[in-house]
C-alpha cells in the first residue's frame, strides 16, 4: 500500500465538454493493473456536462450540494448529498449543479481496453436545463 497526500493540480473542465465552471480533481489511487478512474468533480451553480456515455457505466456519489442528472428519454432528476447514481454502460446522460447551488460528486468509471472513459455528444440545450 501507499498513501498519497500530494494532490495534483485541479483541472478545469474544457468548454467543448462542459457548460459553465467545472473543476476536476483526479483521485490518483489508480495503478496500471486497474482501469478504475475516480474523480471529485466540482460544479458551480448552473454548470453541467454535455451529453455523454461511458463504456462500462459510471457511479456518481454526491458529496456536497444539490444537482441534476438526466438520462436520454427520462426526466431531469434532482440529486443531493448522499445520493448515489448508477449510469448504465452506453447510456446517454448528463449531470451538473442545480441552477442556484454548487454540487460536488465523486465519479468512478472503468476505462475501456483502449483507455476510453467517456464519449462526448452535444451540449445540453438551454430549454432542457431548468433555470
Closest residue to Mn ion, judged by C-beta, is: 58
| Exposure b/e, 60-87, CB count within 10 A at least 16 = b | bbbebbbbbbbbeeeeeeebeeebebeb
Q: Are the C-beta atoms of 98 and 131 separated by less than 8 Å?
A: no
Query: Using CB under 5 A, which of the segments 2-10, 21-29, 38-46, 57-65 binds Mn ion?
Result: 57-65
CA–CA dist 125, 69 (Å, integer)? 14
User: Does 47 participate in binding Mn ion (rule CB under 5 A)?
Assistant: no
Minimum distance between the CB of residue 4 and Mn ion, rounded to whole angstroms? 24
Block residue for cell numbers 454502460? 89
User: Does 58 participate in binding Mn ion (rule CB under 5 A)?
Assistant: yes
- Of the two residues 58 and 70, which places its CB atom closer to Mn ion in the complex? 58
Query: Using CB under 5 A, which of the segments 15-23, 27-35, 54-62, 123-131 binds Mn ion?
Result: 54-62
CA–CA dist 39, 108 (Å, integer)? 7
Minimum distance between the CB of residue 116 and Mn ion, rounded to whole angstroms? 13
Query: Using CB under 5 A, which of the segments 7-15, 19-27, 55-63, 75-83 binds Mn ion?
Result: 55-63
Q: Are the C-beta atoms of 23 and 13 separated by less than 8 Å?
A: yes
User: Does 40 participate in binding Mn ion (rule CB under 5 A)?
Assistant: no
Contacts with Mn ion, residue ranges (CB under 5 A): 58
Amino acid at each position: 500500500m501507499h498513501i498519497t497526500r500530494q494532490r495534483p493540480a485541479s483541472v478545469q473542465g474544457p468548454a467543448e465538454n462542459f457548460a459553465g465552471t467545472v473543476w476536476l480533481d483526479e483521485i490518483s489511487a489508480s495503478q496500471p493493473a486497474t482501469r478504475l478512474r475516480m474523480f471529485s468533480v466540482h460544479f458551480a451553480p448552473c454548470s453541467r456536462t454535455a451529453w455523454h456515455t461511458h463504456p462500462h457505466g459510471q457511479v456518481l456519489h454526491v458529496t456536497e450540494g444539490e444537482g441534476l442528472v438526466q438520462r436520454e428519454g427520462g426526466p431531469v432528476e434532482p440529486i443531493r448529498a448522499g445520493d448515489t447514481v448508477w449510469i448504465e454502460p452506453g447510456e446517454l446522460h448528463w449531470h451538473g449543479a442545480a441552477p442556484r447551488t454548487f454540487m460536488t460528486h465523486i465519479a468512478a468509471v472503468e476505462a475501456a481496453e483502449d483507455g476510453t472513459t467517456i464519449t462526448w455528444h452535444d451540449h445540453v440545450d438551454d430549454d432542457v436545463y431548468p433555470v
